[in-house]
């Protein structure tokens, strides 16, 4: 009996020691990950900025299911007017009203959440906003546009960082999540996105949590938004940027090709099949950044109609030709050539092949990788 108790005591001590060692690591990992509730803010903000009400409706439902309260979502949508404008913010609020009505009609009861408490009465909005802006920025924000247009400096400090950031029914870190996500969904706001990375850090978000935004954008919003965030973050945090610029093509992407004459990932979608009348085959071919064909020959003519992104075409013994949307390439029979995406951008073209029954391919050696990389520098 004594021996058994001694063994159980040793096992208990071992478990305590194991938990003591693991808990700090577990806690650290949890601190470096956004919760489902926090992740829900990202697509809500991004789709509001884009004006995509259909996907916003889906994201609002998920947000409520993942623990966001009604007042928290209202606050996020209201906060966003400072970054996306009143029209986008009001459209988002109207969309949210419709979502809540649908959920109420289904008998779903969502938590209302707390109201914002009044702003402090011992300081003005300008004083409060200046304090908040300085703390989040890490330094007083002066000079440049602030001196050139003093009114915008006042509105930023008094209204945005005073009246809006001063409301306490969502945290400053939630506000920065919404801000970073919205700016990632807008074109031409890379400078503001970079600044708000610092604001987000000072609001309590870790670098890893901020990087999580890219993952959520890619999974739930779109590659273009994830690319924009990734590029700015990579520069700010001095990480290697390797994500190819995505494209928006009007034609379906199709399935990933399993053919061995491609380097990298390539999608292929047949658009027109040849028959006795058309005698022509047309496919949409999309190359992931860095992917391309092997060298090859056609016994007949091939025409490439470039529709999106940036790519390359090169004939044997000739300089490579950079391609972009709107370019046309006519490939003569018997010419050794290759084509594909640039290292930094996806690329898409229509491949038009007349008389495909007689127009056959001969696949040759792969493109020298060093030569390919030299084209992209």
Q: What is the pLDDT of residues 121-180, one digit of tens each?
A: 999 999 999 999 999 999 999 999 999 999 999 999 999 999 999 999 999 999 999 999
Nearest Cα to Cα of residue 350 among 306, 313, 312, 309 = 306
Is residue 29 included in any domain, yes or no?
A: no
Q: In terms of residue numbers, what domain contains 354?
A: 255-375
Is residue 245 included in any domain, yes or no?
A: no
Is residue 154 included in any domain, yes or no?
A: no
Is residue 333 included in any domain, yes or no?
A: yes
Using the structure block, give the residue that is written with the tokens 């909005």: 125
Going by pLDDT thresholds of 50, 70 and 90, the confidence category of residue 276 is confident
Nearest Cα to Cα of residue 263 among 373, 369, 371, 349 = 369
Q: What is the pLDDT of residues 293-350, one digit of tens each?
A: 999 999 999 999 999 999 999 999 999 999 999 999 999 999 999 999 999 899 999 9
Q: What is the pLDDT of residues 4-24, one digit of tens each?
A: 444 455 555 555 455 445 554
In order, the DSSP letters of 323-359 are EETT-EEEE-TT--EEEEE-SSB-EEEEEEEESTTT-
Are 58 and 30 spatial neighbours (Cβ–Cβ below 8 Å)?
Answer: no
201 with 286, same domain? no
339 with 368, same domain? yes
- CATH number of domain containing 64: 1.20.1290.10
Phi, psi of 309 (to 5 degrees): 80, -160
Position 245 scores a pLDDT of 74
Query: What dihedral do alpha carbons 145, 151, 155, 157 form, nearest 10°?
Result: 60
- Secondary structure of residue 93 in the 3-state scheme: helix
């Amino acid at each position: 009996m004594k021996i058994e108790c001694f063994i159980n005591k040793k096992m208990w001590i071992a478990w305590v020691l194991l938990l003591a060692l693991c808990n700090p690591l577990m806690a650290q990992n949890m601190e470096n990950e956004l919760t489902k509730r926090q992740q829900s803010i990202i697509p809500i903000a991004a789709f509001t900025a884009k004006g995509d009400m259909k996907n916003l409706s889906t994201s609002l439902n998920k947000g409520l299911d993942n623990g966001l309260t009604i007042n928290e979502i209202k606050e996020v949508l209201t906060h966003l007017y400072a970054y996306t404008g009143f029209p986008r913010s009001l459209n988002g609020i109207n969309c949210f009203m419709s979502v809540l009505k649908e959920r109420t009609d289904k008998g779903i009861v969502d938590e209302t959440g707390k109201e914002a408490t009044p702003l402090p009465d011992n300081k003005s909005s300008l004083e409060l906003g200046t304090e908040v802006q300085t703390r989040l920025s890490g330094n007083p924000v002066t000079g440049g546009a602030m001196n050139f247009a003093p009114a915008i400096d006042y509105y930023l400090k008094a209204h945005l960082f005073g009246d809006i950031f001063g409301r306490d029914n969502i945290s400053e870190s939630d506000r920065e999540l919404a801000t970073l996500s919205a700016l990632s969904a807008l074109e031409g706001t890379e400078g503001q996105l970079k600044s708000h990375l610092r604001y987000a850090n000072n609001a309590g978000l870790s670098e890893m949590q901020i990087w999580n935004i890219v993952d959520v954008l890619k999974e739930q919003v779109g590659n273009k938004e994830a690319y924009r965030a990734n590029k700015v973050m990579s520069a700010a945090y001095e990480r290697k940027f390797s994500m190819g610029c995505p494209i928006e093509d009007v034609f379906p992407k199709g399935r990933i090709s399993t053919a061995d004459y491609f380097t990298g990932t390539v999608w292929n979608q047949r658009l027109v099949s040849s028959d006795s009348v058309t005698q022509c085959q047309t496919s949409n071919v999309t190359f992931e950044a860095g992917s391309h064909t092997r060298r090859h020959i056609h016994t007949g003519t091939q025409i490439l109609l470039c529709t999106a992104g940036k790519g390359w075409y090169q004939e044997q013994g000739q300089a490579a030709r950079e391609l972009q949307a709107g370019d046309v390439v006519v490939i003569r029979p018997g010419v050794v050539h290759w084509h594909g995406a640039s290292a930094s951008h996806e690329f898409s073209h229509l491949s038009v092949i007349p008389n495909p029954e007689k127009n056959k391919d001969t696949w040759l050696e792969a493109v020298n990788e060093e030569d390919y990389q030299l084209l992209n520098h």
